[in-house]
Each structure stands twice: as structure tokens, then as C-alpha cells.
Amino acid sequence: MQPAPALEEIDFCAEAQLDSDIQFPHPLSRHPLEPRHAFLTGATGFTGVYLLVEILNTTPATVHCLVRAADDGAARERVVRHLKNYGLWRDEYADRIHAVAGDLEQERLGLPHAIFRQLAEQLDVIYHGAGSVNMAFPYGRLKPANVNGTREVLRLAGTASTKPVHFLSSIAVFYSEAVSTRGFLEESDEPEYDATLKGGYSKSKWVADRLVAGARERGLPAAIYRPVRIMGHSRTGAISDIGDNLPPLLKGCILLGKFPALDIEVTMVPVDYVSGAMIHLSRQEKSWGRAFHFFNPAPIAWRKLMAVLEDLGYPMDEVPLEEWMEDLRLRAVGFGNQPEEVTRLFAVLRLAMLAPHFLFYKRPVFGAEYTREGLAGSGIACAPVDKALVSTYVDFWQKTGYLEAPVAQPVQG
């Protein structure tokens, strides 16, 4: 077996070339905007479960959910359990969820030829929301899910009929030094590859993003959605997949009792905004061929975020970044009397902080003309990053045990 190529030896532009046998010569599916049968990847993930509920609530579709499982019965159990864990299950969903046991990382999505063909003939639209989210992983570890999976989804889209694809990408496809010097990025701007693109995750999403763009050039009606970091529901705070670095960073600061001095803004979008906006836009023909930027028009300054946490009962001191990183290093190797799970948290956090970190990335200003146009009159809007939203997240983390409730301070006489 040949060793995996070093990161710098990978030709990412070649990786982004769509296989020549993936073509779109067939007529458009019967109901591309009001689907009777929709295909969804990622239903047992974080964003995917909200996409599933949004499809069920706003369209008449039966949703065929690709799930890694031994058989269709086990796949269905996973989907139903996941919905219930989030408090999203409704009995009326029962007849409209069709779980399909497969594997995103395998050829034809791990499905037998006959099942793959049967699905292709039945589907009206495809929502590709699955992927591996880990900012510390190298490209090679993320490629099977994020790149190969996207390729096989596009293969499904071109089989038997041409089915619109709605692809959940990431704003991280723009996170390179070449782009950071630009003042403004329109949704119509294409993310060109640059060697300074940050981290394996950004690279894997860039390749997948370009595969979808290549399919569009061959006639596929497709839309690309590029959010910033996706966080919990704006009303419930619910989130279980802590794949982004921000929640562990906030927890680490609280446990250390100190935070690094940073002159940055922190941005995020609640998952209900992303799912609601994506499904709403997907039901408009003018969305085909477009990309959409999902970002928060009201981010929060780092020091203000720390002040909010202090107001919520977590006192912390501001220290220089170098001092904070040294404290993190010591705690990551078990210095001090702390539980083993806390040491593991600090070790993971230190690894994440040493990797290319999107918190420190200088971002251009992102345009959102297509998003504003497509959401006009819908009532769908992004909640600002303010004390109310942060409090909602902290409350949820306390209820689930991710954060300990602060110890009440004695009243001074």
C-alpha cells in the first residue's frame, strides 16, 4: 500500500475535477420545487436533523434519509431516535420518513445498483447536508465523507432524471490570505483555490464546492449554501455535535478562569436560521445556479462575549494570549488536580488552537444580495449574537451538563 501523499503534494484543483461519467442528459425531475420525494444526507447529524424537519414541515415530500446502518430498519431507528433526542419528533412524520441504509463514503453511496437506480427514478430533489466537521483533521481524513460523498450525490442527481441539488458548503472555502485582502465578496464570486486556504476542513469543503460548481456547468440545477459556524437553535439552544472550536474554547476559558486578550469579532448563525433559509430558497427556481452566504449581520466582539459570560456568573481575568496558551499547555498534560475528562478537554482544545483557527482569520465583508432577495417577505431572519442568544446557549449547556452552573456568590453585607 502506498503511503498517503503529504498535504503539500495534493493537487487540489485536480481533486475538484468531476468524473467524466457524471453527466446530466436526462429531463428534469417531475416536482423539483414542490417535491413529492426528497433525498437528504446528514439526517442523523446536527444541521441535517433540522433540515429534515424543515422539509417535512414546509413541503409534501416523503424524505429518503441516507443513514449509516446495518439495514433500513436500523437506519430508521437512528433517525427517529435522533429526532426525539432533539425534541423534534411528531407522530405525523412517521409515514413520511424513509430511511435508507447506506454509506456516504462509498461508491453509489453504499447502495446496491438496483436500490440506487430505484431511488434515482423516484426522487425530485436532493439536499446534501452531510459531512465531517473537524477543524483539526487533515484533508485526507475528511475527503471520504466531504469529497467522495459529494461526488456520489452528484452521480445520483444525474441518474434516470436530472434532480436539483442543494449543497450545504461553508464560508470557509474563502478562508485564504488571497481573499482576506479583498474588501468585499459577492455571492456571485467563485472561491478560487489558494495555497494558503486554512486547514483540511476548508480544503475538503472547497473541493466539494467546486465539484458542485462543475456539475452546474454540465447542466445540473444546483444551489450552494455557505454559512459561517452553525450553532444551536435560537430559541432552545439545542446542539449535540460540538464540531466547531468555539464551544470548547468558551468552556476552556471558564474552567481556566481566564481568557486571552483578542481583538476579534465572533460570528455564528443559529441552526434554525440555516435550515429555514436553505429550504425556503430551495423552493425557488431562481436559486438554481446561485450561491448564498449565510452569516450574522450582528456578530459580537470577543471582549463583549467574555463580559456576557461574566454577567452569567463565570468570572474570568483577561491575560495575554501567550500566557493563556501556556496555561492551556500545562492543563493539557494534566498539571494540577483536575478530573481526567477536563485534561482531555484541554488537550483537544490545545490541539485545535494550534491548528489553523477560523476565530483568528481576517474576513472580508460578505455580500448577501441573493439571500436577501430570496428571503424577502418570508419572516426568516438571523438572530443577532447578543446576550439573549448567548444566554440561551449557556442555559442549554448547563441543562445538558456541558457546563456546570456557576456557584452563587455570597451577598456582601
How high is the pLDDT of residue 241? 61
For the chain, the domains span 7-233+268-294, 246-266+300-363+384-397
Q: Rounded to an integer, what distance in angstroms lies between the CA atom of residue 22 and that of residue 290? A: 21
Mean pLDDT lowest for which of 145-154, 188-197, 289-298, 336-345?
Answer: 336-345
- For the stretch 145-198, pLDDT in tens is 999 999 999 999 999 999 999 999 999 999 888 776 777 899 999 999 988 888
Residue 280 phi/psi, 5° resolution? -60, -45
Pairing relationship of beta strands 125-128 and 165-168 according to DSSP bridges: parallel
Domain 7-233+268-294 has CATH 3.40.50.720: yes
Contact indicator for 291, 223 with CB cutoff of 8 Å: yes
**Cell numbers at residue 312, please?**
452569567
Asked if 64 contacts 37 with a C-beta cutoff of 8 angstroms, the reply is yes
pLDDT digits (tens, 9 = 90+) for 123-157: 999 999 998 887 778 899 999 999 999 999 999 99
- Please give the pLDDT value at position 134: 77
Name the grid cell of 380.
Answer: 426568516
pLDDT tens for each residue of 41-67: 999 999 999 999 999 999 999 999 999
pLDDT at 361 over 90: no
**Cell 439571500 belongs to residue:** 371
Mean of all residue pLDDT scores within the chain: 92
